[in-house]
Amino acid sequence: MIAKLIRWCVSNRMMVMLLTGFLLIGGVWAARHITVDAIPDLSDVQVIIKTEYPGQAPRIVEDQVTYPLTTAMLAVPQAKVVRGYSMFGTSFVYIIFEDGTDLYWARSRVLEQLNFVSGQLPSNVSPQLGPDATAVGWVYQYVLKTGNYCPDHPQGLWYDPVADTWYANKHEAPEDEAIQRRLILKRTFTDRTDCPLGHKPLVEPQIDMAQLRSLQDWYLRYELTSVDGVSEVVPIGGFVKQYQVVVDPVKLLALNLPLNKVKMAIRNANVDVGGRLIEMSETEYMVRGIGYLGSLDSKQAPNAALRTSQTLSDLQQIALGANEDGKPIYLQDVADIRTGSEIRRGVADWNGEGETVGGVVVMRFGENAKRTIEMAKEKLQTLAQGLPAGVSLDVAYDRSDLIERAVSTVYHTLLEEVTVVGLIIILFLLHARSALVAAFVLPTGVLLTLLVMYTMGINANIMSLGGIAISIGVMVDSSIVMVENAHKHLEHRDEKIAQGKETVSRIEAISEAAAEVGPTLFFSLLII
């Protein structure tokens, strides 16, 4: 069969050349659009359910949350393993599906079961699905740092490391493309006491870890989540800001106030009531009761410190009732109201310099890691311009460097092997066209492999690219054997012509040579 196929290809050379050309064009297109990553994704298809049950012991979480969810998920189609983990205040349920199951189909089936089991859970419990990502979705990580800044240039200075020159803004630098690419934005300084431009003393920022965490949670995270390919941005480090009401039980007992009444009073005081429209002089006015804690007018709203102060003041003035004399009892009479932080169960450290705040960019399942990282970095560069003075961004982990080095290794390996093989064939066969035949096989095989990978949805990673690099040697061996056998047949043909004997044409000789070793090479490569 292989021999017949070879003879047919030789007989229809023009059609084979056209088909090869179209496939090579498809291979080039696939090489530009194939999903590129550094780490192969060998993880199972799984969906994670996370449930918060604040303040409850692991045994209570197990009985009231984890067990009902786990038993319900056993009925999900194509689910082969269901695992439940219970800890203080938190439950995790992992549903692992059969290989080949579509992740988004699996998530939709899990959501159906969640709707079914929600009535069996405590009233204040709301299960949530984990991100639509895999175990290798952690592609980029950044940190927020504080440092001294220039008072005249709070948004930072641009530095040219080659020329050792500082610029107040990027437009002041020469328009040379090479210079523009190597410019570095420096927003904070830790290794000097004066500003590089003007030499004024640097100013220390008044920003604590709680404010850094707020920047991460309410500014960077939501903007980064909008980037195409990003499934989730996980915040780490810092302190999550809270408004804490520390009730004095002795005062509650003295005033005969139950704790539940205090909770209801706080909840009812933080509402905004809508009214109707009033028409006056052909103008409609909207009536509303502004009751949210910390409400400010449009001019004062951007001031975070003023909003915090107003919120604390509003909390203090919440009325809980009246005493025997008819005097109102306020929340500040029975509780200490303050700002604080959520209980932490871990910290983030940056290079041993101390605590920091950061974020982990998690890539969505099936996305292009290199493209997602590039878009996330572009977004961060834009967001950095809106950070307060004295706050800068730094990279903690960037997988794109590993991806670029892996692709570069395969490219240079292919180039080196094509060059070496061509020189060796020219040296031993003393025939340039034969060397071109063997050299043409290598890029053709690589491009066709990438086309097949793209069609089958396989991404280019260290493992797949390494396999291509290893197979280059096998492809070279087969092409050398094929070329050498063709040379032998042509030499025999030339000898017969010199002796005046009848012989086959040059094309037929090459066809017979290829058909002679083709099946053997095919099955040997198939085994390898």
Torsion of CA 364, 369, 370, 374, to 10 degrees: 30
Judged by DSSP in three states, 122 sits in coil
**Share in percent of the chain as helix, strand, coil (round to 5):** 50, 20, 30
CA distance 110 to 126: 14
CA distance 375 to 203: 33
CA distance 172 to 157: 11
Domain with CATH 1.20.1640.10 in the chain: 2-39+402-527
CA distance 272 to 7: 83
**At 461, which amino acid appears?**
N
> Measuring CA to CA, which residue among 487, 476, 468 is closest to residue 424?
476
- Tell me the pLDDT tens digit for each residue of 423-446: 776 777 677 777 777 777 878 888
For residue 171, what is the DSSP state? G
CA distance 251 to 336: 11
CA distance 150 to 239: 27
Q: Do 397 and 452 touch, CB atoms closer than 8 A?
A: no
Instruction: Output the pLDDT for position 77.
Output: 92
CATH T-level fold of 2-39+402-527: Multidrug efflux transporter AcrB transmembrane fold (1.20.1640)
Could you write out the DSSP letters of every residue in 5-30? HHHHHHHTHHHHHHHHHHHHHHHHHH
pLDDT > 90? residue 514:
no
Judged by DSSP in three states, 327 sits in coil
Instruction: Output the pLDDT for position 279.
Output: 85
pLDDT > 70? residue 265:
yes
Buried b (16+ CB within 10 A) or exposed e, 285-321: eeeeeeeebbeeeeeeeeeeeebeebbbebbeebebe
Between vectors from CA 29 to CA 24 and to CA 30, what angle results, nearest 5°?
Answer: 95
Instruction: Output the pLDDT for position 362.
Output: 93
Average pLDDT over residues 240-259: 89
> Measuring CA to CA, which residue among 180, 436, 446, 213 is closest to residue 339?
213
How far are the Cα atoms of 91, 98, 128, 143, 324 from residue 50, in angstroms, in the given order? 6, 21, 5, 26, 48
| Beta pairing partners, 93 | 49, 84
Judged by DSSP in three states, 271 sits in coil
CA distance 212 to 143: 10
> Measuring CA to CA, which residue among 53, 55, 72 is closest to residue 64?
53
Superfamily of domain 46-129 in CATH is Multidrug efflux transporter AcrB pore domain (3.30.70.1430)
Instruction: Output the pLDDT for position 297.
Output: 66
Residues whose CB falls within 8 Å of the CB of residue 185, separated by 6 or more in sequence, listed in order: 156, 157, 158, 159, 384
Mutual angle of helices 400-429 and 369-384, in 10-degree steps: 140
Indicate the pTM of the whole model.
Answer: 0.79
Residue 410 corresponds to which tokens in the numbers above? 């395969």
Could you write out the DSSP letters of every residue in 174-239? ---HHHHHH-EEE--BSS-SB-TTT-PBPB-----HHHHHHHIIIIIHHHHHTSTTEEEEEEEES-
CA distance 96 to 356: 35
Confidence at 206, pLDDT banded by 50, 70, 90 = confident
- Tell me the pLDDT tens digit for each residue of 339-392: 888 888 888 888 888 889 999 999 998 888 888 999 999 999 889 888 888 888
Domain with CATH 3.30.2090.10 in the chain: 262-341
Q: Do 158 and 184 touch, CB atoms closer than 8 A?
A: yes
Q: Do 143 and 394 touch, CB atoms closer than 8 A?
A: yes
Domain with CATH 3.30.70.1320 in the chain: 138-239+345-401
| Beta pairing partners, 47 | 95
> Measuring CA to CA, which residue among 398, 396, 394, 405 is closest to residue 372?
398
Confidence at 65, pLDDT banded by 50, 70, 90 = very high
CA distance 13 to 507: 10
Instruction: Output the pLDDT for position 502.
Output: 64
Residues whose CB falls within 8 Å of the CB of residue 420, separated by 6 or more in sequence, listed in order: none
Q: Do 89 and 66 touch, CB atoms closer than 8 A?
A: no
User: Strand 335-341 to strand 165-167: parallel, antiparallel, or no bridges (unpaired)?
Assistant: unpaired
Confidence at 70, pLDDT banded by 50, 70, 90 = very high
Q: Do 50 and 107 touch, CB atoms closer than 8 A?
A: no
262-341 belongs to CATH 3.40.50.720: no
pLDDT > 80? residue 489:
no
- Tell me the pLDDT tens digit for each residue of 266-304: 888 888 887 788 888 888 888 888 878 877 766 665 667
Judged by DSSP in three states, 380 sits in helix
Instruction: Output the pLDDT for position 61.
Output: 92
**CATH classification number, 138-239+345-401, choose in 3.40.50.970, 3.30.70.240, 3.10.129.10, 3.30.70.1320:** 3.30.70.1320
- Tell me the pLDDT tens digit for each residue of 77-125: 999 999 999 999 899 999 999 988 889 999 999 999 998 888 888 888 8
**At 321, which amino acid appears?**
G
Percent pLDDT > 70 in the chain is 95
Instruction: Output the pLDDT for position 60.
Output: 93
Instruction: Output the pLDDT for position 79.
Output: 92
Average pLDDT over residues 410-426: 74
**At 89, which amino acid appears?**
G
Instruction: Output the pLDDT for position 352.
Output: 83
